[in-house]
Structure 1
């Protein structure tokens, strides 16, 4: 599968394209990364070197790919963190061009807005861009539970509330929703869940919750689920494979006591994770 991935890039560590590209390549996909920022490291460290890439530069790179015929067989477009309106517009322009070349292409958007612990950390204009313009154009979105609530103006906690919020956002555009972290109050202690909702139904998978967080794991989850779903069209299978891979990646990182994901060291987790987790249909 050929994938166009328009995301941030860091030299040290693994977020954005620096998290998504290698697992996809390890699965055998041909990935064309287009970077929206080129930084030394992710901004959670407090300082960094590098620069933002303008929307015009992103358009120019996509134009060059198109002139080589590189968009004709793209089956999946990925996007993640969007630092400003110009990047968002450039991504939407790229999606439109890809779909002109291949109407079967799927656009998967990770609507990066924030988390329940940190709140919303993007500028107000980016919030509006993602909620009002980007999400309706997406075929698949991969928000966390907080982001799902922000997009829909809801505050989901229970499974029923989360399903209702997913249905609400599906009504405005994206047919498929992966909620990457569900914290329902009645779940067993020390567990975390992912929920996939599409036209065919809804499924949930539960894994142990490790007592730490590392930047980039959501980028990996979004990339893996989107590629598995685009390849198979099977949401529960894509959900189970993604949960197993991401859990193993995080477990390896936790065991190594490193500040960055053990992305390369965990490469077998993307193709043959050692554990599997039950995927349960909830609707």
Structure 2
């Protein structure tokens, strides 16, 4: 069994962080080991929640216990998301290096969770700077949304050319692959939303319809990062992984809209995670 260690937030109710990432990884055949950086009653988008952020010492202790079980040599990837604070980020980056030392073929996939268009930053002070200076350069794969890509590269993205330049600039800081999980640009149809993947071998984009979801469900980026990572680990084909991840999350959005819920409908749409009914092709743009 191939193992992915996922270090992210956890909610008791709803689907964000590890609750949005672990199940897709499992449905796609990976033994997902969840290390939770926080435990909240629900995601913070509701405006009220209970629970606590775990200390860096707590997370390091959990990782030590996992290591003691002999798990690290079987790991094919570490996936990280919401980190809680910068000190915890240091533990996460250290854990990725530790896994790669025990399992040289393993990759570190960093979802640099910091904020979003319209909301701005929603993480604690110090995390954006840590992401830019330490986490992203240490990663093999990064999965920012458009807001996060703009911050990480000190650029404004309004066109495909802007997106291509920003992705290449971010890749130049260390990662081998950049997945932009949401792209809205002036030179594209207003009723579409895109994802873009950039590698040294080429760049591909996939476009899907924009569904009227109000409020939009939280956790989509967490799910997309897990879906893309799982497919990329299977195929080493960035374009194919992009198409599969985009098609799967679109199907989840459709089911979420049908049910009229603000939580991702991952369980009702679980078969779509493996075999999407409608596959949107990835188009090469560079």
Q: With structure 1 as the length reference, what TM-score do the two structures score?
A: 0.98
Matches within 5 A, 1:76-155: 76-155=77-156
Kept in 2: contact 1:76–1:227 (CA 8 A)? no
Kindly state the Cα deviation for residue 257 of structure 1 after the two structures are TM-superposed: 0.4
Aligned-CA RMSD value: 0.9
Distance in structure 2 (CA, Å) of the matches to 1:113 and 1:66:
28
Matched, 1:236 2:239: yes
Kindly state the Cα deviation for residue 29 of structure 1 after the two structures are TM-superposed: 0.8
4+ long deviations beyond 6 Å? none
Distance in structure 2 (CA, Å) of the matches to 1:142 and 1:157:
19
Matches within 5 A, 1:120-269: 120-212=121-213, 213-269=216-272
1:124 is paired with a residue whose SS is coil
Structure 1 gap ranges (5+): none
Instruction: Please name the residue that 2:278 is paired with.
Output: 275
Deviations 1:124-183 (A, max 9, x none): 311110111110000000001111010011111211111101111111110100001111
Q: With structure 2 as the length reference, what TM-score do the two structures score?
A: 0.97
1:82 is paired with a residue whose SS is coil
Structure 2 gap ranges (5+): none
2:93 is paired with a residue whose SS is helix
Kept in 2: contact 1:74–1:102 (CA 8 A)? yes
Distance in structure 1 (CA, Å) of the matches to 2:94 and 2:139:
12
Kept in 1: contact 2:140–2:176 (CA 8 A)? yes
Distance in structure 2 (CA, Å) of the matches to 1:99 and 1:31:
16
Instruction: Please name the residue that 2:41 is paired with.
Output: 40
Kindly state the Cα deviation for residue 209 of structure 1 after the two structures are TM-superposed: 0.5
Kept in 1: contact 2:251–2:269 (CA 8 A)? yes
Kindly state the Cα deviation for residue 48 of structure 1 after the two structures are TM-superposed: 1.0
Kindly state the Cα deviation for residue 83 of structure 1 after the two structures are TM-superposed: 1.3
Instruction: Please name the residue that 2:53 is paired with.
Output: 52
Kindly state the Cα deviation for residue 57 of structure 1 after the two structures are TM-superposed: 0.9
Kindly state the Cα deviation for residue 228 of structure 1 after the two structures are TM-superposed: 1.1
Matches within 5 A, 1:56-67: 56-67=57-68
Kindly state the Cα deviation for residue 261 of structure 1 after the two structures are TM-superposed: 1.0
Distance in structure 1 (CA, Å) of the matches to 2:165 and 2:172:
11
